[in-house]
């Protein structure tokens, strides 16, 4: 991920609570690093999307497993 490399090279740090809460990100992190706003937003959006997709996949796998056990 290009945005992650940029953030690591420039030693931009923020916590998980900032990744999961866009309002906290805007209020606390983005004012510290206005030059890297696009990279921070891109990275946090990708992480949030990955978490959502993982949740959906876990639910689907669980549902398919339940259906297979029911019709066994």
pLDDT digits (tens, 9 = 90+) for 34-69: 999 999 999 999 999 999 999 999 999 999 999 999
Q: 3-state DSSP call for residue 33?
A: coil
Inform me whether the pLDDT recorded for 1 exceeds 90: no
Per-residue model confidence (pLDDT) at position 71: 84
Inform me whether the pLDDT recorded for 72 exceeds 80: no
Residue 9 banded pLDDT, cuts 50, 70, 90: very high
| Spatial distance between the Cα atoms of 44 and 62, rounded to a whole number of angstroms | 27
1-8 average pLDDT score = 89
Spans of all domains in the chain: 2-70
Mean pLDDT (the chain) is: 93
Residue 48 main-chain phi, psi, to 5 deg = -65, -40
CB 39 within 8 A of CB 6: yes
| Spatial distance between the Cα atoms of 25 and 31, rounded to a whole number of angstroms | 9
């Amino acid at each position: 991920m290009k945005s992650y490399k940029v953030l690591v090279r420039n030693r931009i740090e923020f916590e998980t609570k900032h990744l999961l809460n866009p309002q906290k990100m805007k209020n606390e992190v983005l004012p510290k690093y206005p030059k890297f706003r696009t990279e921070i937003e891109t990275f946090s959006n990708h992480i949030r999307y990955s978490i959502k997709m993982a949740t959906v996949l876990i639910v689907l796998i669980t549902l398919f497993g339940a259906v297979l056990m029911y019709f066994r």
